[in-house]
């Protein structure tokens, strides 16, 4: 019984610490829109023949991705804003991309894209803003 309580207490503490770590102040709507617009412009500028081009350094291949949607949530880590978007690769597998954006003179500048996750867990519904 004591062991069950200890395990339960540990799980509760882990859950609370994850929730605290993921709680961040929301990005103000004006900045969120600016970051979203800069991200979409970055995606559009890297489209060739209807596909988003992304160089995968781990496989040394140029991926041709199909854009699905921008996530409605933008997170902030210090001076860095992180926007997310869903794509599909040539085989139809979902790819979750992160776009790193900084503000310079109150204007957003998208620095780069990073493939964050692949496979079924990569695509989230619009309701999932994590």
Q: Is 9 exposed, middle or buried (0-12, 13-18, 19+ CB in 10 A)?
A: exposed
Residue 1 is assigned to a structural domain of this protein: no
Number of domains in the chain: 1
pLDDT in tens, 5-39: 444 443 444 444 344 445 667 899 999 999 999 99
Domain with 84, as residue range(s), is: 27-122
Q: Rounded to whole angstroms, how far apart are CA atoms 119 and 96?
A: 9
Quick check: is 18 in a domain?
no
Q: What is the pTM of this model?
A: 0.72
Q: Is residue 9 part of a domain?
A: no
Decide: helix, strand or coil at residue 57: coil
Q: Report the SS3 class of residue 15.
A: helix
Q: Is 92 a member of any domain?
A: yes
pLDDT digits (tens, 9 = 90+) for 82-97: 999 999 999 999 999 9
Residue 114 covered by a domain: yes
Does 67 reside within a domain?
yes
């Amino acid at each position: 019984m004591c062991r069950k309580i200890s395990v339960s207490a540990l799980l509760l503490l882990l859950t609370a610490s994850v929730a605290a770590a993921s709680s961040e102040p929301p990005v103000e709507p004006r900045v969120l829109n600016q970051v979203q617009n800069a991200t979409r412009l970055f995606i559009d500028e890297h489209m060739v023949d209807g596909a988003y081009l992304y160089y995968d350094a781990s496989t040394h291949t140029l991926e041709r991705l199909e854009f699905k949607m921008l996530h409605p949530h933008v997170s902030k880590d210090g001076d860095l804003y992180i926007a997310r978007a869903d794509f599909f690769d040539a085989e139809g597998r979902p790819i979750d991309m992160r776009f790193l954006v900084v503000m310079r003179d109150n204007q957003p500048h998208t620095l780069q894209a990073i493939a964050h996750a692949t496979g079924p867990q990569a695509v989230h519904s619009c309701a999932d803003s994590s």
